[in-house]
């Protein structure tokens, strides 16, 4: 027997589209000049994000763009445009730090990126996705102190949950888990050279299974070229997938912060978990 869903009957499936900006920060943070074959990140601001914004607008839905602070400094206009079009701007590291950080440096970078993003979009940032899935035991406490209501980094569950990071009453944050092996563009375009039309078929299968089961679909893509989804063929995959999902009853597209707010309001329906 399937467990009763945490979602109301008319919310057959919650869909969260996360677009990780990943501009030149991805290379520069690793000490690589964004030239030649390393220029894929330059595609994000120039072509990928405008193309994704146009596509989302055509579908009348909104997504969450997770933006490294450094890329926001380099391209404040396009980040402002993301917010102006009612898409969400979330935080995604400063230089896309895919490496261990000392606690003090981590906190400083989280605060720095938060300030950069807030200054551009003129409103508080509500959520964070870890760059390359790197996160420490101390991350959430800093995020919470910045007023963030969710993190979308962990890979350990099929549903949103309350992630407890301390003993205090308020030491929890909404966790919106994703999966960067299956519902992510990077593995298919970088490793398996899967044709875009097969990636679409794969993601439709993923959606079908989720629609029948947990009803919570979190896709992570990147608007860069190379292994990302900014280019015409791969943006079309996203667009065709959205069309497919929309053809199902009760599919709701959420910005992550709106969905996290729903989770906060229905907190009693969520599992609580602690791993520290």
The reply to whether 223 sits near another protein by the rule CB under 8 A is no
CB of residue 50 to another protein, shortest distance in Å: 8
Beta bridge partners of 161: 175, 271
The binder of another protein chosen from 87, 153, 172, 235 (CB under 8 A): 235
**Residue range at the interface with another protein (CB under 8 A); choices 102-110, 115-123, 234-242, 262-270:** 234-242
CB of residue 108 to another protein, shortest distance in Å: 14
The binder of another protein chosen from 8, 30, 145, 209 (CB under 8 A): 30
Helix, strand, coil % over all residues of the chain, rounded to 5: 45, 15, 40
Q: Which is nearer to another protein, 137 or 195 (CB)?
A: 195
The reply to whether 131 sits near another protein by the rule CB under 8 A is no
Q: What is the DSSP letter of 12?
A: -
Q: Which is nearer to another protein, 133 or 137 (CB)?
A: 133
Q: Please, where are the H alpha helices in 60-214? A: 69-74, 76-84, 103-121, 139-145, 186, 196-212
How many residues lie near another protein (CB under 8 A)?
A: 43
The reply to whether 196 sits near another protein by the rule CB under 8 A is yes
Question: Of 18, 21, 118, 1, nearest to 68 (Cα)?
Answer: 21
Q: Which is nearer to another protein, 64 or 74 (CB)?
A: 74
Distance CA 32, CA 39 (A): 10
The binder of another protein chosen from 113, 153, 172, 231 (CB under 8 A): 231
- 147 CB neighbour count, 10 Å cutoff: 11
Biggest alpha carbon–alpha carbon distance for the chain: 55
Q: Which is nearer to another protein, 236 or 269 (CB)?
A: 236
The reply to whether 225 sits near another protein by the rule CB under 8 A is yes
Tokens 């602690």 belong to residue: 274
**Residue range at the interface with another protein (CB under 8 A); choices 119-127, 150-158, 194-202, 211-219:** 194-202
CB of residue 11 to another protein, shortest distance in Å: 32
Contact 125, 235 (CB under 8 A): no
Lay out the site mask for another protein across 96-115 (x = CB under 8 A, - = otherwise): --xx----------------
Q: Please, where are the H alpha helices in the chain? A: 25-28, 42-43, 49-59, 69-74, 76-84, 103-121, 139-145, 186, 196-212, 232-246, 256-265
> Which residue ranges make up the site for another protein (CB under 8 A)?
24, 28-43, 46-47, 70, 74, 95, 98-99, 132, 186, 189-191, 193, 195-198, 225-227, 231-236
């Amino acid at each position: 027997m399937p467990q009763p869903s945490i979602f109301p009957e008319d919310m057959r499936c919650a869909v969260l589209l996360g677009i990780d900006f990943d501009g030149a920060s991805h290379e520069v943070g690793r000490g690589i000049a964004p030239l030649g074959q390393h220029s894929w990140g330059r595609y994000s601001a120039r072509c990928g994000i405008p193309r994704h914004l146009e596509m989302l607008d055509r579908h009348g839905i909104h997504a969450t763009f997770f933006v490294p602070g450094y890329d926001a400094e380099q391209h404040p206009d396009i980040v402002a445009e993301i917010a102006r079009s009612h898409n969400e701007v979330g935080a995604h590291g400063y230089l896309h730090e895919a490496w261990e950080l000392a606690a003090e440096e981590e906190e400083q970078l989280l605060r720095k990126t938060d300030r950069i993003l807030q200054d551009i979009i003129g409103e508080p940032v509500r959520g964070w996705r870890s760059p390359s899935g790197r996160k420490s035991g101390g991350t959430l406490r800093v995020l919470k102190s910045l007023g963030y209501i969710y993190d979308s980094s962990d890979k350990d569950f099929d549903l949103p949950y309350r992630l407890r990071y301390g003993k205090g009453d308020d030491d929890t944050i909404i966790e919106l888990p994703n999966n960067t092996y299956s519902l992510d563009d990077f593995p298919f375009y970088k490793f398996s050279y899967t044709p875009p039309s097969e990636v679409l078929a794969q993601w439709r299968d993923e959606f079908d299974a989720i629609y029948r089961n947990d009803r919570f679909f979190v896709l992570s893509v990147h608007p860069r070229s190379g292994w990302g989804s900014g280019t015409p063929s791969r943006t079309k995959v996203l667009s065709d997938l959205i069309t497919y999902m929309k053809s199902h009853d009760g599919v709701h597209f959420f910005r992550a912060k709106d969905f996290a707010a729903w989770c906060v309001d229905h907190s009693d329906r969520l599992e609580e978990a602690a791993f520290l």
